[in-house]
Structure 1
Amino acid sequence: MNGPHDLGGRMGFGPIAPEADEPLFHAEWEARALGIVLCCGALGYWTIDESRHARESIAPADYLRFPYYRIWLTALIELLQRHGELTARELVDGHALTPGKRPEKCLHAQGVVGVLSKGSPTCRTVEVAPRLGIGARVRVRNLQPTGHIRVPGYLRGHVGVIESQCGAHVFPDSNAVHQGEQPQHLYTVAFDGAQVWGQGEGVSIRADLWESYLEAV
């Protein structure tokens, strides 16, 4: 989707100013927000793709003014309501009115390290061979969906060269909206920076792109 999260190549948002010796959290509530999001993710209702899409779907005016972890919490509220673990009344009252639906999915403190270190691999096995070979010239399709998509907007319509084949992986666009994993081949594609940005001679850009995003040139 064309949302406020996809800022690459857009002007008017000011310079990037990294903070020297930046702390992990700027306030205690940020650490709590991260913990709550991780614990709720363990309930198993949604995938990382659905949670990412929930953040992207926040109204642009709010997304651009919210601090990072408020974006996370806002999306979490939407996900919990969507899956029946939180009601509008509970949100107003500030406490639960009924027990949670999946108490057996509770993520205890001692289990956090194991869960996070295990991760959630996205590589899959598919029967079809890669349609595109290393060195092939490809154009990024001009896709404008209303749902989740992992193509940076600034690469649409541009031509690049496939640098490597990365195997088959879960397709996030379908996985974000409960249409299944639908795995497909993933490629690393190299682009000329000057061609993409109109400046930057000698600069190259690399993006990992799923096969359905690409067409042979």
Structure 2
Amino acid sequence: MDSIADMGGTQAWGPAQVPTDEPPFAEPWEGRSFALTVLTMGRISGRNLDAFRHALGRLHPIDYLVDGYYGRWLNAAELMLTDSRILAPGAVDARARRNRGEDVTEPPFPEPSRPDYKPTAAGSLREIDRDPVFAAGDAVRTKDMHPEGPTKLSGYLRRRSGTVTAIRPPHVLPDTHAVFEGENPQHVYTVGFSSTELWGPDAEPFTVHADLFESYLAKIPESEADQ
């Protein structure tokens, strides 16, 4: 799924503003949003960290940009609670309007339908019984992927050629883990891409390294790689 959260490599956003002496939370509500989201993620909604990231990616683009960092967290927490039928759609908005004195009927509480949450404190690294498909030095090309569900293959890296520079430990595949279709652990590879491959011949010369799952990659035949 292509979402507003996939902003890497895009242009026209202006320079990043880096505040100095930034407190952990600029406003008290941000700290409460952080705590509420962490609590919601596992204990209440039954959702995991990958599902939380998927919720962020499903937010309305305007809300994603306007509500700020912890506003996105709060909106994602509400979405996870709605996904698990802890809250009915529109329940938060209705309660807020009632608190402002409006005559609003709140939707009834639904019958919860929570996933079978398993704590992820042990981390996301796994051992698998198959050898890596690729080796350091292999020329690879990323696939042209536009799945309906989540993917960690950024848009600006798709259909691009690079070179495997390292093999990383196998890792749970977020694409399926986020929607509770299994962990599906895969080998992960660090792939180096030329800046000109990503942004054209006028780009400043440097190398971009990205850690990518095995299913995102295809090997470039030696005859084609030598051209």
Match in the other structure for 1:111: none
Letter in 2 for 1:36: L
Q: Percent identity?
A: 32
Match of 1:73 in 2: 74
2:216 pairs, out of 209, 213, 216, with: 213
Partner of 2:102: none
* Matched AA of 2:28: E
| 2:41–2:77 contact (8 Å) kept in structure 1 | no
Q: CA deviation at 1:47?
A: 1.3
Counterpart of 2:10 in structure 1 is 10
Residue 128 of structure 1 aligns to a residue whose secondary structure is coil
Q: Is the 8 A contact 2:188 2:212 kept in 1?
A: yes
Give the alignment of 1:2-41 within 5 angstroms.
Answer: 2-41=2-41
Q: Which has the higher contact order (CA 8 A, sep 6+)?
A: 1
TM-aligned CA deviation for residue 194 of structure 1: 2.5
Tell me whether 1:177 sits opposite 2:186 in the alignment.
no
In the other structure, the counterpart of 2:132 is: 130
Distance 1:213 1:51 in 2: 22
What letter corresponds to residue 24 of structure 1 in structure 2?
P
- Specify whether residues 39 and 137 from structure 1 end up closer, same or farther in structure 2 by C-alpha distance, changes over 3 A only: same
Matches within 5 A, 1:1-217: 1-43=1-43, 45-88=46-89, 91=92, 92-93=94-95, 119-198=121-200, 199-201=203-205, 203-217=206-220
Q: CA deviation at 1:130?
A: 0.6
Task: Evaluate the alpha carbon distance shift between residue 207 and residue 89 of structure 1 in structure 2; reply closer, same or farther with a 3 A threshold.
Answer: closer
Q: Deviations over 1:6-54 (max 9, x none)?
A: 1122222121121122221111000110011111223161111111011
Equivalent-residue separation in structure 1 for 2:90 and 2:22 (angstroms):
38
Q: Choose 1 or 2 for highest CA Rg.
A: 2
State the TM-score, normalizing by the size of structure 2.
0.81
Q: 1:40 is aligned with what amino acid?
A: T
What RMSD in Å do the two structures reach over aligned CA positions? 2.3
Aligned length in residues: 200
2: CA distance, partners of 1:11 / 1:39: 35
How far 1:89 moved relative to its partner? Answer: 7.2
Kept in 1: contact 2:42–2:48 (CA 8 A):
no
- Give the secondary structure class of the aligned counterpart of 1:124: coil
* Counterparts of 1:83 and 1:4, CA distance in 2: 23
Greater mean deviation of Cα atoms: 85-94 or 72-81:
85-94
* Matched residue SS, 1:162: strand
